Amino acid sequence: MHVKKGDKVVVISGAYASDEPHEVLQVLPATGKVVVQGVNLRWKHTRRTQQSPQGGRVQREFPIPAAKVLLWSEKAGKGVRTRSQLVDGKRVRVGVPCGTRFD
C-alpha cells in the first residue's frame, strides 16, 4: 500500500474531498482500505455493557478505499502520487512532482 499509519493524506474524490490534510489512523491491506481521521463518520450503536454502562450512539470513522487518498507533501503544498526508489539499499517512497521522501 502507498500509505502507512500516521501519514498525512488528502482525500481526492467523494463526499469528503478537500485540500486539507488528515491523518491515517489505520490501514487495512486485506481490503485495500484506510481509516482517516475525521472522514466518513458514521454512528455506531453500542449495547450497554459493564465496560460502557452508558451505551447509546457513538460517532466513529469508517474505512474508505485507499485509492481515494494521496500523500500530503509540505514541499508541494498538495497531495502527491508516490513511487518507490532504492536509497542505500532501502526502499523509500518519493513524491513524483516534488521529490519529497516520505520514509
Task: Return averaged pLDDT per consecutive 10 residues of the chain, 103 residues in all.
Answer: 93 90 96 95 93 89 95 91 92 89 84
pLDDT for res 54: 87
Question: CA distances (Å), 12 to each of 16, 40, 78, 82, 84, in order?
Answer: 8, 13, 11, 15, 21
pLDDT for res 25: 97
Instruction: Enumerate the domain spans of the chain.
Output: 8-95
Fold of 8-95: SH3 type barrels. (2.30.30)
